[in-house]
Amino acid sequence: MDEITKIETIDQYDQLFGLETLHPLVNVVEFAKSTRTVEYIRMNIGFYCLFLKEANCGDLRYGRKYYDYQEGTVVCMAPGQVTGVDKRNTTTPRTNSIGILFHPDLIRGTSLGQTIKNYTFFSYEVNEALHLSDQEKEIVTDCIHKIKLELEHPIDKHSKQLIVRNIELLLDYCMRFYERQFITRNEVNKQIIERFDKILDSHFETKPAQTFDMLSNETYAGLLHLSSEYFNDLLKYETGKSFKEYVQFKRFEKAKEWLTNTDKPLSQITQELGFQNPQYFSRLFKKITGCSPNDFRMPN
């Protein structure tokens, strides 16, 4: 089993790659300036990372939409995640990738510290990375450059506030670009929702009712080979519903189908869809549809 090295501070990371530490809680890293070559390591990091990596993904098309993803890729990681480097079987020259590292202590007590959980892309998988156009890459690079300029400026009472604000601006741009990426991947996203619908339908038809309380975002995201955060964000963007809201919506859609197309008694539908009792189900059904299950079933 590969050993995992715990990297708790920014300075530990900088020393590992032979980089200058500009601030104990935040740093802009430029790997072209690295004085140490690391061929292989697995790390458990204790801080946030955002890297603008070199990429050559080619010209990708989603449905009829076209987007140029050749310019760069943004990969983000949160404290506690395991990441690594493996150059043992490559002849790749030194990378020109850049990035920013910032410790949770830097943003503690700031507005960013209160909202950092909203930037869910820190928990996305690498294959869910953000692919940038040339213009977007320029914006991200400029944000990182401004943070570096502030780090190189003599520390004064404004330093922390300006650094954190610029980090927040960078993250807000990444949020915007991810939303753009959801749009350009519309056809792919629809296919994911369709696969999820099929899995849910199968669950409704074959699984015991008591398992409905065990339905989890993590379980179904895993079946779809996605991180739970990315899957929930995708659902929210495509359907306007969170995972729990969407599953509840599909349960009632299945109830409508059974009420219309089968002779299943209400008690059986209630039980098979995992509701507490027919009375509770009927109240929810009427609240959502405007009529009772029995009225819904009656022919016009």
Asked if residue 180 and residue 287 are part of one domain, the reply reads: no
Q: Are 65 and 184 in contact (CB under 8 A)?
A: yes
Across the range 206-215, mean pLDDT stands at 60
Question: Could you tell me if 18 and 81 lie in one domain?
Answer: yes
- Whether residues 118 and 254 fall in one domain: no
Residue with the bigger pLDDT between 209 and 250: it is: 250
Residue 64 pLDDT? 35
Would you say residue 47 has pLDDT above 90? yes
CB atoms within 10 A of CB 172: 13
- Lowest-confidence region among 98-112, 131-145, 147-161, 282-296: 282-296
Range of the domain at 30: 5-184
Residue with tokens 């059904």: 285
Give the CATH number of the domain where residue 205 resides: 1.10.10.60
CATH number, domain containing residue 135:
2.60.120.280
- 212 pLDDT more than 80: no
Helix axes 159-184, 228-239, angle to 10 degrees: 60
Confidence band, pLDDT 50/70/90 cuts, at residue 67: very low
Q: Which amino acid is at 127?
A: N
State the total domains in the chain. 2
Last residue of a domain, one of 140, 167, 184: 184
Q: For residues 28 and 170, state if they share a domain.
A: yes
Q: How confident is the model at residue 57 (pLDDT cuts 50, 70, 90)?
A: very low
Q: Is the pLDDT of residue 56 over 60?
A: no
Question: Does pLDDT of 58 surpass 70?
Answer: no
Of all residues in the chain, what percent carry a pLDDT higher than 70? 88
Q: Are residues 61 and 155 in the same domain?
A: yes
Residue 168 has pLDDT above 90, yes or no: yes
Residue 29 has pLDDT above 60, yes or no: yes
Instruction: Quote the pLDDT of residue 201.
Output: 87
Q: Quick check: 298 pLDDT over 60? A: yes
SS (H, E, C) the chain: CCCCEEECCHHHHHHHHCCCCCCCCEEEEEHHHCCCCCCEEEEEECCEEEEEECCCCCEEEECCEEEECCCEEEEEECCCCEEEEECCCCCCCCCCCEEEEECHHHHCCCHHHHHHHHCHHHHCCHHHCEEECHHHHHHHHHHHHHHHHHHHCCCCCCHHHHHHHHHHHHHHHHHHHHHHHHHHCHHHHHHHHHHHHHHHHHHHHHCCHHHHHHCCHHHHHHHCCCCHHHHHHHHHHHHCCCHHHHHHHHHHHHHHHHHHHCCCCHHHHHHHCCCCCHHHHHHHHHHHHCCCHHHHHCCC
- How many C-alpha atoms does 118 have within 13 Å on its Cβ side? 11
Mean pLDDT of 2-26: 93
Mean pLDDT of 170-181: 95
Predicted pLDDT of residue 93 = 55
Q: Are residues 14 and 49 in the same domain?
A: yes
- Average pLDDT of the residues in 76-96: 77
Tell me what the mean pLDDT of segment 3-15 comes to. 94
Average confidence score pLDDT of the chain? 86
CA distance 188 to 65: 11
Residue with tokens 């849910």: 200
Full-model pTM: 0.80
Looking at 184, 199, 222, the residue that finishes a domain is: 184
Which of 14-23, 32-41, 63-72 tops mean pLDDT?
14-23
The whole-number pLDDT of residue 148 equals 96
Domain boundary among 160, 184, 208: 184
The answer on 192 and 180 residing in a single domain is no
Query: Is the confidence at residue 271, as pLDDT, over 90?
Result: no
CB 296 within 8 A of CB 259: yes
